[in-house]
C-alpha cells in the first residue's frame, strides 16, 4: 500500500461521510427534470438502477485497489507503462479538477438566477476558491472534517420536504413500468452526474486506516444516497405533472416554495444559502484529489499543484456565461463520468485480471 503516516489517516467509518458528501451536491436541485424527460414517471426506477450499478462498480474499484496495494496510479503504470500510464493518471487529475469546476459554476448560476442577478461570477468564484484553498491546504484530515460537518449541519433540510407531501398526488406515478426498458436504462445513465463522487476512493484509500474495512461504509453511503435520490424523485414526480416538470430547471427549489414558516417567507433562499455547505466538500475533495495526482506524477509540492489547479478552475468559471453553457459543461461531465466508471474501470479490471493470470501478479 502507498505509504501514509498513521497520523494522517482517518478511521474506516469516515468513508461513509466522505462518499456521501461527495455524492450529494448541486445536482440535487435539478436532476429530476433531466431523467423525467427520458423515463417519465418511471424515472425513480432509473435512480434505483443507477444506485445498484454504482454498488457493482464500487466492488470493482475495491478489487483494483487491492491488486495495486492501494495505489491506483501505480496500477496505471504497471499495466500501461510509465508514460502511457502517467497520461491516463493526468487525465484523471483533469477529471477531478473539472468536477470541482462544474459544481462551483453550476452553484453560482443558481445564486445569480434565484438570489442576486447582479452578482459577478468572478467575485463569488474567487471568494469560494480561497475558502477551499484554506481548507485543502490543511491536509486530508481537515477535508474529511469538512465533509462530516457539511453533511450533518444541513441535514435538517430533509424535514422541509414534509410540507410538499400535502400537495403530492402519488397516483401520478401510475402505471409503473409504463416506459420501455431502454428509456429507463438511458435515464439511469443520465443520473451518472448526480451519483458521481464515490470514485474518489481511488485517491483517498491510502489515507484510510485498515482500508479494506472501509468497504462496508462505502456501500452504506451509496445505499443512503440512492435511497435519498429515489425518495426525492418520487416526491417530485408526485408533486409535478410531467409537463410541469419539464418547465422546471430546478424543481427542488420550486418545491421549497411550499415551505411556510411564520418567520421565513421565501424558504428557498435559506435552502440555497445552506447548499453552500453541501457543495463545499465537493469542491475541496475534488481539488485535493487532483493535486494529489499531480504531486505523484510531477516533482511538485501538493500545495503548489493545488494553487495552480484552483487558478485554472477560477479562470474557467469566467468563460461560462449562460444557461446553455452551464448545461453543456454538466452534460460533458456526465458523459465523461459515465465513460470513466462504466467503460474505463471495467476495462482496467479485465486487463488486470488477464495480466494477473499470465504473470501471476500485476
Dihedral sign for Cα 291, 64, 219, 95, please.
Answer: positive
Residues 6+ apart with CB under 8 A from 338: 189, 192
CA–CA separation, 73 and 232 (whole Å): 36
In the DSSP assignment, the letter for residue 119 is -
- Provide, for the chain, the percentages of residues in helix, strand and coil under a 3-state DSSP scheme, each rounded to the nearest 5: 80, 0, 20
Residue 17 CA: distances (Å) to CA of 5, 99, 126, 177? 21, 18, 27, 34
Q: Where are the domains of the chain?
A: 9-359
CA–CA separation, 347 and 103 (whole Å): 28
Phi, psi for 264 (deg, rounded to 5):
-140, 120
Angle at 361 (CA atoms; ends 358, 362), nearest 5 degrees:
95
Q: Looking at residue 259, what is its pLDDT? A: 86
pLDDT in tens, the chain (362 residues): 557 888 889 999 999 999 999 999 888 988 999 999 999 999 999 999 999 999 999 999 999 999 988 899 999 999 999 999 999 999 999 999 999 999 999 999 999 999 999 999 999 999 999 999 999 999 999 999 999 999 999 999 999 888 888 889 999 999 999 899 999 999 999 999 899 999 999 999 999 998 889 999 999 999 999 999 999 999 999 999 888 998 998 999 999 988 888 878 888 899 999 999 999 999 999 999 999 999 999 999 999 999 999 999 999 999 999 989 999 999 999 999 999 999 999 999 999 999 988 887 77
Q: Looking at residue 204, what is its pLDDT? A: 95
Give the three-state DSSP class for 235. helix
Q: Looking at residue 336, what is its pLDDT? A: 96
Residues 6+ apart with CB under 8 A from 253: 29, 110, 114, 268, 271, 272
CATH number of 9-359: 1.20.1740.10
Q: Which three three-digit cell numbers place residue 233?
A: 424523485
Q: Looking at residue 2, what is its pLDDT? A: 56
Amino acid at each position: 500500500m502507498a505509504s501514509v503516516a498513521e497520523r494522517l489517516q482517518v478511521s474506516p467509518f469516515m468513508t461513509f461521510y466522505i462518499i456521501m458528501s461527495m455524492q450529494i451536491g448541486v445536482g440535487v436541485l435539478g436532476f429530476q427534470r433531466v431523467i423525467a424527460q427520458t423515463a417519465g414517471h418511471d424515472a425513480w426506477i432509473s435512480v434505483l438502477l443507477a444506485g445498484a450499478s454504482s454498488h457493482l462498480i464500487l466492488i470493482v474499484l475495491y478489487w483494483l485497489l487491492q491488486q495495486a496495494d492501494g495505489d491506483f496510479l501505480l496500477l496505471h503504470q504497471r499495466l500501461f507503462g510509465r508514460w502511457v500510464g502517467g497520461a491516463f493518471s493526468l487525465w484523471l487529475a483533469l477529471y477531478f479538477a473539472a468536477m470541482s469546476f462544474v459544481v462551483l459554476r453550476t452553484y453560482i448560476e443558481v445564486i445569480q438566477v434565484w438570489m442576486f442577478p447582479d452578482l459577478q461570477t468572478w467575485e463569488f468564484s474567487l471568494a469560494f476558491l480561497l475558502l477551499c484553498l484554506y481548507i485543502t491546504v490543511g491536509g486530508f484530515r481537515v477535508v474529511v472534517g469538512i465533509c462530516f460537518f457539511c453533511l450533518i449541519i444541513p441535514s435538517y433540510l430533509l424535514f422541509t420536504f414534509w410540507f410538499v407531501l400535502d400537495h403530492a398526488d402519488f397516483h401520478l406515478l401510475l402505471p409503473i413500468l409504463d416506459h420501455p426498458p431502454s428509456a429507463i436504462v438511458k435515464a439511469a445513465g443520465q443520473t451518472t452526474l448526480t451519483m458521481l463522487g464515490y470514485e474518489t476512493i481511488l485517491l483517498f484509500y491510502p489515507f484510510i486506516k485498515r482500508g479494506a474495512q472501509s468497504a462496508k461504509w462505502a456501500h452504506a453511503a451509496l445505499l443512503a444516497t440512492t435511497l435519498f435520490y429515489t425518495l426525492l424523485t418520487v416526491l417530485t414526480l408526485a408533486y409535478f405533472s410531467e409537463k410541469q416538470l419539464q418547465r422546471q430547471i430546478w424543481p427542488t427549489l420550486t418545491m421549497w416554495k411550499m415551505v411556510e414558516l411564520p418567520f421565513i417567507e421565501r424558504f428557498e433562499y435559506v435552502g440555497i444559502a445552506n447548499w453552500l455547505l453541501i457543495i463545499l466538500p465537493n469542491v475541496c475533495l475534488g481539488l485535493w484529489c487532483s493535486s494529489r495526482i499531480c504531486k505523484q506524477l510531477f516533482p511538485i509540492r501538493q500545495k503548489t499543484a493545488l494553487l495552480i489547479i484552483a487558478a485554472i478552475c477560477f479562470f474557467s468559471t469566467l468563460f461560462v456565461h449562460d444557461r446553455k453553457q452551464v448545461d453543456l459543461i454538466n452534460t460533458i461531465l456526465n458523459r465523461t463520468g459515465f465513460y470513466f466508471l462504466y467503460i474505463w474501470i471495467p476495462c482496467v479490471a479485465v486487463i488486470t485480471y488477464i495480466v494477473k493470470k499470465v504473470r501471476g501478479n500485476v
